[in-house]
Amino acid sequence: MTQVFDLHGKRVWVAGHRGMVGGAIVRRLACEQVQVLTATRQELDLREAAAVRAWLKANRPDVVVLAAAKVGGIAANDSLPADFLYDNLMIETAVIGGAFEAGVSKLLFLGSSCIYPRMAPQPIPEEALLTGPLEPTNEWYAIAKIAGLKLCQAYRRQHGADFISGMPSNLYGPGDNYHPEHSHVPAALIRRMDEARRAHAPSVTVWGTGTPLREFLYVDDAADACVCLLKHYSGEMALNIGSGEEVSIAVFARHVARAVAYQGELKFDASRPDGAPRKLVDVTRLKGLGWSAKTSLDEGLALAYADYRARLKAGAIAA
């Protein structure tokens, strides 16, 4: 595959390295000849444009990967619309605008498959962007992510900056947030089923009807796709990142139960929202660059569960 950008010897700032995605990107970059730069939340508030500009001036990265975002599952998105819109817009304008001013030679912005219309054709091609109404439970986050990818496109168009975007499907894996109400479904079910197994509880509640279809991608596969995009992609279009496989929430919950060895009953609570009925992204373009997902759902869930157990043991999972 033709390389369009040489990472060798570059200083790469991973913004959001403490998050699940940023952490996986740092792990993946350890296999490249690069110098990884990071800044903790205490050192740098990414919503503060002046502070970000000063940090960029002092640290001079060649490459920026913007993996920092206010993120959460369906309930967090639905109940904290101001945080999801405001924080994400502020982070994007500070980091993307700051990177341009600092003369960064390559930037990768990460979004989410929720940028596409709720009723987009499936699998969702990149061209479906802005062709219809968004899923209401996460439209605030989606609008912010669309603004971020448009900002990258705008710097490309107006100034020729090599700023690109990738839109991953639902991610899971080590370093996930296990908050009982605000997490995404993989972390929520791992925690709930592990607690139920240890308490010998006869049943576990799964939100919604169990019928929505989701495309889950193991986070280290997503990180590998990010490195592939940095090296092999330069274009305006935000490219999809996905496993290419979808599963209903009911079937997914059974995979989690197997990983956790929970044998009780699964009860579906239809009073909780289902969200988008389906969101499988079309990964033809990314596959054309030579990338494909490697981790099966059962392998990925086993690794995610091992991470949960280790963090629980270390006292790193909040109540």
Closest CA to 170 of 218, 216, 109, 222: 216
Instruction: List C-alpha distances in Å: 317 to 16, 28, 176.
Output: 19, 24, 10
DSSP state of 9: T
* For ligand GFB, the closer CB: 183 or 295: 183
Task: Specify the stretch interacting with ligand GFB by CB under 6 A; choose among 2-10, 62-70, 123-131, 269-277.
Answer: 269-277
Instruction: Please tell me whether residue 179 binds ligand GFB under the rule CB under 6 A.
Output: no
Active site residue 141: yes
Contact partners, residue 226, CB within 8 Å, separation at least 6: 25, 28, 65, 67, 108, 110, 166, 241
Instruction: Please tell me whether residue 170 binds ligand GFB under the rule CB under 6 A.
Output: yes
Tokens representing 54 are: 């000063």
The minimum distance between CB 110 and ligand GFB, in angstroms, equals 11
141, 172, 233, 262: the active-site residue: 141
Task: Specify the stretch interacting with ligand GFB by CB under 6 A; choose among 6-14, 62-70, 179-187, 230-238.
Answer: 179-187
Give yes or no for a contact between 107 and 162, defined as CB atoms under 8 angstroms apart.
yes
The minimum distance between CB 308 and ligand GFB, in angstroms, equals 14
Region 57-76 residues binding ligand GFB, contact defined as CB under 6 A: 73-75
Instruction: Please tell me whether residue 240 binds ligand GFB under the rule CB under 6 A.
Output: no
Give yes or no for a contact between 238 and 111, defined as CB atoms under 8 angstroms apart.
yes
Distance CA(59)–CA(42), nearest Å, equals: 16
* Position among 149, 249, 256, 257 found at the interface with ligand GFB (CB under 6 A): 249
Give yes or no for a contact between 277 and 212, defined as CB atoms under 8 angstroms apart.
yes
* Position among 214, 242, 262, 307 found at the interface with ligand GFB (CB under 6 A): 214
Name the residue number minimizing CB distance to ligand GFB: 73
Contact partners, residue 251, CB within 8 Å, separation at least 6: none
Region 33-52 residues binding ligand GFB, contact defined as CB under 6 A: none
* Position among 23, 166, 208, 242 found at the interface with ligand GFB (CB under 6 A): 208
Q: What share of the chain is helix, strand, coil (3-state, %, to 5)?
A: 45, 15, 40
Footprint of ligand GFB (CB under 6 A): 73-75, 77, 112, 114, 137-138, 141, 170, 183-185, 188-189, 206-208, 212, 214, 249, 272-275
Active-site annotation, residues: 141
